[in-house]
Chains A and B, each alone.
Chain A
Amino acid sequence: MKRLTACIIILTVIAAMSVFSVFAVKKENDKFISLVNAAENSYRNDDSDTAQRLEELENAWNKYYVRISYIAQSCTLDDISYAVAKLPALLEKGSEEFLSECESIRSWTEKIYHTQYPHLYSVF
């Protein structure tokens, strides 16, 4: 009976943590994507604080990476890391690629959430 109780508790904890992880990814994603949008808008408007926004984005990414690496495969996170690392150089050059990299970061980040969300197609 003790074993059964332990198993029910473990299973409940796992199920709760799995549900929580989906919400956690969603929350982290929203926060990070808003920073990507802010940096992108700032670049589009030629604002003087683009570099500062970018720094905020990089800091946020470092935290995001650590939190999400417990859940998501690191290869997807590594792709985003490369794109984030490119941004300061692209900003310095004033390259249009800055915007496309921001778009890539956004879509990869969204992909992380969608791979964690139990859609019917991803379950089966």
Chain B
Amino acid sequence: MLIVFFRAVILYILIVISIRLMGKRQIGELQPSELVITLLLSNIATLPIEDMTIPMSMGIVPIFTLVCLDVILSHCSLKFRGLRKLICGSPKIVVSRGIIDQKQLKDLRFSADDLLESLRSMGIFDINEVQLAVVETTGKISVYQKAQFRPVNNGGMGIKGSQTDPPQLVVDNGRIIYSALGLIGKDEKWLMKKLGEKGMPLKDVYICTADPSGQIVAIRKDKGKKKV
């Protein structure tokens, strides 16, 4: 039993390292090759845990081999477009100028229901609103609406807003996040001065956000949702 425990702990750490090695993209959206790797990893990892007769090396070697190959292959596919197309496939247009490409849908084995369901999930209930719809390599459908149905934005209205970055979390539970302070172009001295102005010592701050213009919002620890 203790051996199983140790093996589970070791493999857990190895899988976490492997997933980190594969990068953030792995967690968010899976390309076909990444999906295969993820499924394989979960399967391989369980073998040495369940079967004590299998040495750990039989789990470790394939896990790292698959992950390393995937990373190397994805780097190669960044350089070579042909390889990327071969591994990930290419986006397919399923609606063009408002007309559904039925052959493409059939090739992709997408039913009309699948298409409408995806459109509905994006808040589009009428197929007439769609100018262009593309099935991405991840299987997700991206839609470009016809001009008359597109939401109005500042650009469309001719409004020029300020090009500032959003606020950053600069203090988390009494600890300064220096990297976030760097992002907004401020330093610890500036932050301490601002907190001093609000009469709030650093150790009492639950969270504090700040933006490049110098505006800060600080919330005190254990005092409910009181905003200072």
**A residues within 8 Å of B by Cβ?**
3-4, 6-8, 10-11, 14, 17-18, 69-75
Q: A18 and B61: CB pair below 8 A?
A: yes
7 contacts between A and B (CB under 8 A): A3-B71, A8-B68, A11-B64, A14-B64, A70-B57, A74-B52, A74-B53
Residues of chain A with a CB closer than 8 A to B65's CB: 11, 14
Q: Which residues of B contact A17 (CB under 8 A)?
A: 61
B219 proximal to A (CB < 8 A): no
Mask: chain B, 40-84; 1 = CB below 8 Å from A; 0 = not? 000000000000111111100100110111011001000000000
The answer to whether residues A70 and B55 also contact, given A3-B71, A4-B71, A8-B72 and a CB cut-off of 8 A, is: yes
- CB contacts (< 8 Å) of A69 on chain B: these are 55
Min CB distance B180 to A, Å, is: 23
In contact, A10 and B23 (Cβ under 8 angstroms): no
How far, in angstroms, from A18 to B75 measured CA to CA in the complex? 25
A74 proximity list for chain B (CB < 8 A): 52-53, 55
- Chain B interface residue count, Cβ-Cβ cutoff 8 angstroms: 18
- Is A7 a contact partner of B68 (Cβ separation < 8 A)? yes
A75 CA / B65 CA spacing, docked (Å): 25
Query: In whole Å, how far is A63's beta carbon from the nearest beta carbon of chain B?
Result: 17
A73 partner residues in chain B, CB cutoff 8 A: 53-55, 58
CB closest chain-A residue, reference B20:
A3
Q: Does B177 contact A (CB under 8 A)?
A: no
Q: Is B21 an interface residue (CB 8 A)?
A: yes
* Bound CA span A71–B55, Å: 6
Most-contacted residue by chain A among B56, B57, B58, B65 (CB, 10 A): B57
The smallest beta-carbon distance between B73 and chain A, in angstroms, is 10
User: Which residues from B are CB-within-8-Å of A4?
Assistant: 71-72, 75
Contact B55 A14 (CB under 8 A): no
Q: What A residues does B64 contact at CB under 8 A? A: 10-11, 14
Interface flags, B157-178, vs A, CB<8A=1, else 0: 0000000000000000000000
User: Once bound together, how far apart are the Cα atoms of A66 and B54, in whole Å?
Assistant: 14
Shortest distance from the beta carbon of A65 to any chain B beta carbon, whole Å: 12
